Structure formats: C-alpha cells, structure tokens
Amino acid sequence: MSKKKTNLPNKAEPVKRNFGLMDLRAIDDEQTGTYIEGHPAIYDQRTDIGGWFYEIIERGAFDSCDFDDVLFSVNHDLRKIPLARSRRNNGNSTMQLQTNDRGLYIRANLDVEENSEAKSLYSAVKREDIDGMSFIFYVDEEKWEDLDSEMPTRRIQKIHKVIEVSAVNFPAYTGTDINARDKTVLDNAAKALENARSQLDNSKSEREILQLRNQILLNMEER
C-alpha cells in the first residue's frame, strides 16, 4: 500500500535529528568550570528516518555552516532560558562548536551554581540518565538516491545553519533516530520524501518531452 503524503516542504523548514551516541559527558574542572560535551551529529551514519527513508550526513556537510547564534537546551524546549549559547562561535561564548573526524562536537559551560536547571542537567548526564543529543538545522544541499524504491537514501551534503542543540531524554530507538513520540518530525520526513519524488517525476516528464521532440524532429529529417 502506498503512503499518502501531502503539503510538500522546502529547505526553509528546520530539520530536527536525534542521535544516541553514548558520548555525552559531564565534566567538572576546578579551574575552568562545569561542562557538557558530546556530538549532536556524526558523519556517514546511515539512519532510518521513521521508516520513510535512510539519511546520511556526509563528511564536510558543516564546512560552511552558519554557527553565529546557537542555543543549548534540554529536549528542544525553546521556551525556557538556554543553558548555554554560542555567539559567533568565539571563545567568549558559553558554548563552542567545532567539527572533527566524527562529526559536529559541542562543549557547553554550565552555570550549576546559579541555574538550577543547569545543575539538574549536569547531574542527569553524570548519572547517565540522559545520554543522547539532538540538533535543529537547515539543509542547504542534498542528494537523493533510489527514489523509486521503498526506502530511498537522502544524503545531506551541506547544512546551512544550526540553530539549536539539545541534550535529550529519548535520543533514539532501535534502527532509527526519530523519537516515536515526535509526530512533527515524522510528518516532515514524509513531506521531504514526497517533495523529492515529485521533483524526480517532474524531471522525468521534462526528459520524456525532450526525447519525444527530438524523435519527431529526427523523423521529419528522415522524410
């Protein structure tokens, strides 16, 4: 049975992805402060996006990414005061982002003395009650493969901007990075696939028209 999809999206819509990497760490340094560090995104990992398609963030996707203003939150709750923030990704910010061989890495300085939510998060990460990360971003360039199959592959080649990273309660379930409770993310995945297939169909139609036109011209020349 085919999957019904409507309301096609565009790249102006933000994308949210969760990763359960088990490398989210709490660090207490007497000289420099209290930190949370980890990878909210990794390269070259094929991930099942809610049963709609596979997705891979290609190496180099963050090379020209805009990190000018990125929030650090818990469970993407943007209504609350951020626990850290990167402004122009400089050394004076309370969070720094960088890429390494694994993917996107963040280090957030938490104010556990004055901010009770920062203290709670630090404790939860240290106890491994929270062990995953997620991020919200905008796609700039992508490539689709096997769109005629039941499970095509979306390769994200360039990420335009990261707007937020989070420590999350439910980073993943078996075989997928989508929280089963996150209907919005699943709906957006369905729309992204429909949009890509629609573009493929349009491209096929244009090629068929061009081929037919060329065949007609060829037939006329032969006469």
pTM for the model:
0.74
The reported pLDDT for the residue numbered 48 is 83
Q: What is the pLDDT of residues 29-67, one digit of tens each?
A: 877 789 999 998 889 988 888 788 889 999 999 999 999
The reported pLDDT for the residue numbered 96 is 95
How big is the chain, counted in residues? 223
What stretches in the chain show pLDDT beneath 70? 1-12, 19-22, 171-186, 203-223
